[in-house]
Structure 1
Amino acid sequence: MPRLLLLATGGTIAGCAADSATLNDYTAGVFGGDALVAAVPQLQGLAAITVEQVANVDSADLLFAHWRALVRRIRAAFATNPELAGVVITHGTNTLEETAWLLQLLIDDRRPVVLVGAMRPATALSADGPLNLFQAVHVAVSPEARGQGVLVVMDGQIHGARDVTKVATQGVGAFASPGRGPLGWVDDVGVHLPMASGPRHVPFAGLDLPEQWPQVPIVYGCVEPEPIVLSACLNAGVAGLVFTGTGAGQLSAGECRVLEAWASPRPLMLRANRCGSGPVHLAEHDAQLGLLPAGVLNPQKARVLLSLAVMAGMDREQLLELLPITRL
């Protein structure tokens, strides 16, 4: 029987509502990981599961301290237990993609780390959490998942950490990988994934996460954005900035003027886009303004990468090498 570590962090999958017909008004992070596993007895046929409770919160309330604890626990589990087949993390859906991407950049092991959540609380009629959890464990112990990096399993689909994102506020099919699609799927026949093609690059495998994380805010693009927002960030001495630019990651003329007028050293800055899909390419004036394109990363994932780059002491050219962009 494969051995599996399940790390529970709360979320809707562990949520509770007043009655079974209530899908929206509920409290996330009520049931513990042991209760989630006990509610799916079929898991006993897949793996010997050890459950640990890392947190029990709505994922909107997840903290950097929780991320640090997850990374340390996963690294330690893989380093000390060669018989461990993989790790499953139960997680709220609101920030699940950010945690997945963080772990993709930090965890260097061929054994799978699989994140799973639910769009309906555990008390709901036709709750999706139990099946999602069963399928996540199925994927985590499968040979096909080895070497694939961090995966997200939702609604029978298997997504890669870099591309997956939450695209809807309701419905069990709320996750997608825009521009690429899921890596595979899982059903009652088995796990359907192409075998990993080779070793993957884990740029921050040796990075020890500090207790105090750098400030990296996200500035949202819109019609006539308030320059005071960008100025306040620069004056506060933030370590990095992510712009959710309009269109293909475009900054307004007013924002560009603020950057041009800034006399002190600029922080590391990335341009993402607010469209939901599509790349951001290098632009002619990026170097002049101190900007870099986030490529296919959405703003929240660009922030994760930028935060780790700041912690690692990277400069603009080193960060450029890590960005998923097309070099013309």
Structure 2
Amino acid sequence: MDEWSREMAGSVTVFTLGGTISAARGGAGRLTGAEVLAQLAPSPDIDVRLHDFRRIPSSNLTVDDLAELAALIDSAGAGGSGAVVVQGTDTIEESAFLLDLVCAQHRPVVVTGAMRRPDLPGADGPANLAGAIAVAGDSGCRGLGALVVLADEIHAARHVRKTHTTSVATFASPGAGPLGSVVEGRPRVLLRPPAPLVDRPLRLLRAARVALLTVSLGDRGELLEAIDDRFDGLVVAAFGAGHLPEWFVEPLERLAARMPVVLASRTGAGPLLSRTYNGPGSEHDLLGRGLLSAGSLDAPKARLLLQALLSDGADLARIRRTFAALVG
């Protein structure tokens, strides 16, 4: 492990986890962190340190991996170093959001990756990594929360989503837009997000399991039977602005009496409504039966927020307050 104890202006620690950006020629095997960094020209302004943390597909990452990573990021930040996390793009939006919840963020925390392997034409990894390092090493990017930087755009972790399977411009922030961009190697921040989602970094003290159920046309709700005794909470990705078949209502009301149940939208953008529709299975009906609104958070991020709160030991009252703040 590289030393990061002394504070240094423009210091950035790069944590490599694997992913497309580190794929070896032909897609078999993984480059080391040093080999990934070797694709970049050395920066005279930023001292880059390396921590080769994992070499796995992002689909294999776990909450435990990210909890360990967050502790290392906090150690680096306390020593004056910004952090860049390099991983596969499949779960970037979830990794960044969880780091947003658990890292102290003494310095900027930036997550990046690549959509094209290093051996393919138009490989985007080097440019994405260079942009991420520029953002992480810039003191003006402190206080923005965890960030995702790809295609020269700077996105807030709470808003960003992967929107296309192959496009190099896949990452977007529906309903919000990017916070800024990287121009000629320098970050330009145009917008700053509101207050953090939580009042202090959450501690992942104990294991917690939260289920995510996405409802589809003709769904009879049989999967709800698998929630009992297996999970500590549930997020339901509902139709539209928060609507479910009416036969879901009573089973969910019973579950909400025993565990936190969060109502989100499966659309991935836009706020959950609260009082526009009033019939059985409407958002007004479900929220009135004890379900919690995810506000503008998409369902995967609502799941991570609920899981992190439960892992931190939050009781139902605190969970309710946190989710209520999302609605405003």
TM-score category by the smaller chain? 0.7 to 0.9
The equivalent residue for 1:129 is 125
State the Cα RMSD in Å: 2.2
Select 2:244's aligned residue among 234, 238, 251: 251
The equivalent residue for 1:239 is 232
Q: 1:13 to 1:46 in 2, by over 3 A?
A: farther
Q: How does 1:198-213 map to 2 (within 5 A)?
A: 200=196, 202-205=198-201, 207-210=202-205, 213=207
1:89 maps onto 2:89 in alignment: no
1:307 maps onto 2:307 in alignment: yes
Unaligned runs of 5+ in 2: 1-8, 275-282
The equivalent residue for 1:106 is 102
Cα drift, residue 31 of structure 1 = 1.0
Q: How many residues align?
A: 311
Q: 1:259 to 1:201 in 2, by over 3 A?
A: closer
Q: For 1:121-141, what per-residue CA distance to the aligned partner results, in whole angstroms no more than 9, with x for missing partners?
A: 122111000011011111111
Give TM-score scaled by structure 1 length.
0.88
Cα drift, residue 200 of structure 1 = 4.4
Q: For 1:286-324, what per-residue CA distance to the aligned partner results, in whole angstroms no more than 9, with x for missing partners?
A: 355331110111111011100011122323432232235
The equivalent residue for 1:218 is 212
Q: Secondary structure at the match of 2:17?
A: strand
Cα drift, residue 107 of structure 1 = 1.6
Cα drift, residue 215 of structure 1 = 1.3
Q: How does 1:176-191 map to 2 (within 5 A)?
A: 176-188=172-184, 190-191=186-187
Select 1:141's aligned residue among 118, 133, 137: 137
Partners of 2:179 and 2:65 in 1: how far apart? Answer: 27
Name the stretch that deviates more: 175-184 or 48-57: 48-57
Cα drift, residue 263 of structure 1 = 7.7
The equivalent residue for 1:34 is 34
The answer to whether the 8 Å contact 1:46/1:138 transfers is: no
Letter of the aligned partner of 1:222 in structure 2? Answer: S
Partners of 1:311 and 1:97 in 2: how far apart? Answer: 20
Partners of 2:193 and 2:151 in 1: how far apart? Answer: 25
Partners of 2:289 and 2:20 in 1: how far apart? Answer: 42
Q: For 1:192-216, what per-residue CA distance to the aligned partner results, in whole angstroms no more than 9, with x for missing partners?
A: 11485897464342x4324x62111
The equivalent residue for 2:268 is 276
Partners of 2:298 and 2:193 in 1: how far apart? Answer: 25
Letter of the aligned partner of 1:2 in structure 2? Answer: G
1:7 maps onto 2:15 in alignment: yes
Q: 1:321 to 1:123 in 2, by over 3 A?
A: same
Q: Secondary structure at the match of 1:13?
A: helix
Q: 1:149 to 1:174 in 2, by over 3 A?
A: same
Unaligned runs of 5+ in 1: 19-25
Partners of 1:3 and 1:161 in 2: how far apart? Answer: 22
Give TM-score scaled by structure 2 length.
0.88
Letter of the aligned partner of 1:146 in structure 2? Answer: R
Select 2:153's aligned residue among 140, 149, 157: 157
1:44 maps onto 2:38 in alignment: no
Cα drift, residue 276 of structure 1 = 2.2
